Amino acid sequence: MNRKGILVVLSGFSGAGKGTIVKRLLSDYKQYALSVSATTRAPRPGEEEGKAYFFKTKQEFEKMIAEGAFIEYARYVDNYYGTPKEYVRQQLDAGRDVILEIEIQGARKVKEQFPDTLMLFVVTPDAATLKERLTGRGTESPDVIRDRLRRASEEAEGIEAYDYLVVNDDLDTCVAKVHALIESEHCRISRNTDYIKEMQKEMKSFCSR
Amino acid sequence: MNRKGILVVLSGFSGAGKGTIVKRLLSDYKQYALSVSATTRAPRPGEEEGKAYFFKTKQEFEKMIAEGAFIEYARYVDNYYGTPKEYVRQQLDAGRDVILEIEIQGARKVKEQFPDTLMLFVVTPDAATLKERLTGRGTESPDVIRDRLRRASEEAEGIEAYDYLVVNDDLDTCVAKVHALIESEHCRISRNTDYIKEMQKEMKSFCSR
């Protein structure tokens, strides 16, 4: 089977370990590509074009917005950040599963444009563990912690927009689990229609002989 | 997480290895239960009640039909065969994933009554391999072979009613794949609503303190 890549959204609470999971998927398996964002912020020392980001001027970025070149984009402080459609399409066509580590608002926009996106939400084993992770670093002010908890609570309200829940109890298990979820998704009937139609045709031909 | 069992329908072409896959799932993993059918046919020597079948008289069976006690049933030649609802419910409630090895007409009836049934369809790597397996035993008449091919072709037309396609290329890989598909299904958001609601509630409570 010539398989097409799957667009995978990985969301989850801050502190649930999304970033580590994504890194491990990219290093442990060859089939994954990380979506590279475009941004108008200046490159930091050592940041290569097309690795961490595609660097754009504000004018370029706004032109791309106008052309509908982004799956989703947002403005933080004075800079734009966006997911270029073209790059994602290329990777998917090359058979790579593209991972988008993104929060819920962005995830919803992605799902609108790519309805067969696989939507994964990573959680800590329970709310108390999450609270510990969000508050336990001991370096932030009560205000910052309160903001984080509020944001996490808002994100929790959006979980139903996702397809699967992944509990990050043990990292190795969790990475294997996410990989298995993506592999399973490749078996979905609706992702194998060409293969099925071909098989149906061949089998009909056996009967008519 | 206290997880509830999943009802799994396993269909596929005759010759694709369904029976072997089911046997391996039951022996390799503890979480599975095979649905035990009821029948009006007489027990064969060594067949224990409740193991291969629940043995019923015709009268008992028809009473069960009238009471809606079957998920699906059919009559072959002079005997009834059916899947008792009660047994399946008990196993699911005990957290066991129940496997139903069944053909497509039965599978459709199961899906109607248990809409969250996981529907798997097992295929040989390609139609030619299937043809080989169906014709290659060398013991059947051309008529029997033609019938088998026609039946397989009819079944192929129904594949789109299933959720996932499993290619049985190598048995070990295939068994692991089916197990992974079922494990993945346990992560589905809609199967974890209690857990999610609990987490949402707890996280709200952190914010209101």
Query: Does the pLDDT at position B2 exceed 70?
Result: no
Residue type for position B88: V
How far apart, in whole angstroms, are the C-alpha atoms of residue A150 and residue B54?
Answer: 55
How far apart, in whole angstroms, are the C-alpha atoms of residue B179 and residue B24?
Answer: 10
Give B115: exposed, middle or buried? Use CB within 10 Å, 0-12, 13-18, 19+.
Answer: exposed
Q: What are phi and psi of A45, to 5 degrees?
A: -50, 130
How far apart, in whole angstroms, are the C-alpha atoms of residue A32 and residue A23?
Answer: 10
Q: Are B207 and A150 in contact (CB under 8 A)?
A: yes
CA dihedral A98→A102→A104→A106, nearest 10 degrees, is -80
Q: In this predicted structure, what is the pLDDT of residue B185?
A: 97
Of B126, B188, B207, the CB nearest to A164: B188
Query: Does the pLDDT at position B152 exceed 90?
Result: no
Cβ–Cβ of A153/B206 closer than 8 Å? yes
Q: In this predicted structure, what is the pLDDT of residue A5?
A: 96
How far apart, in whole angstroms, are the C-alpha atoms of residue B127 and residue A205?
Answer: 10
pTM as predicted? 0.90
Q: Cα distance from B50 to chain A (closest Cα, Å)? A: 33
Q: In this predicted structure, what is the pLDDT of residue A191?
A: 95
Q: Are A164 and A120 in contact (CB under 8 A)?
A: yes
Classify the C-alpha dihedral B196-B197-B200-B205 as positive or negative: negative
| Residues lower than pLDDT 70 in chain A | 1-2, 137, 209
**Quick check: A118 contacting B, CB < 8 Å?**
no
The two structure tokens encoding residue A85 = 């459609």
Q: Cα distance from B59 to chain A (closest Cα, Å)? A: 40
The two structure tokens encoding residue B36 = 């035990």
Mutate to test the interface with B, among A187, A192, A200, A209 (most CBs of B within 10 A): A187
How far apart, in whole angstroms, are the C-alpha atoms of residue B11 and residue B35?
Answer: 14
The two structure tokens encoding residue B172 = 């070990």
Q: Cα distance from A86 to chain B (closest Cα, Å)? A: 29
Cβ–Cβ of A196/B166 closer than 8 Å? no
How far apart, in whole angstroms, are the C-alpha atoms of residue B187 and residue B144?
Answer: 43
> With bands split at pLDDT 50, 70 and 90, how would you rate the model's confidence at B181?
very high
ipTM, two decimals: 0.89
Cβ–Cβ of A207/B153 closer than 8 Å? yes
Cβ–Cβ of A203/B159 closer than 8 Å? no
Residues of A in contact with B146 (CB under 8 A): 207
Residues of A in contact with B202 (CB under 8 A): 126-128
List pLDDT tens digits, range B101-148: 988 888 999 999 999 999 999 998 888 888 888 777 677 788 888 888
Cβ–Cβ of B153/A203 closer than 8 Å? yes
Q: Are A81 and A124 in contact (CB under 8 A)?
A: no
Kindly state the percentage of chain B with pLDDT values over 90. 66
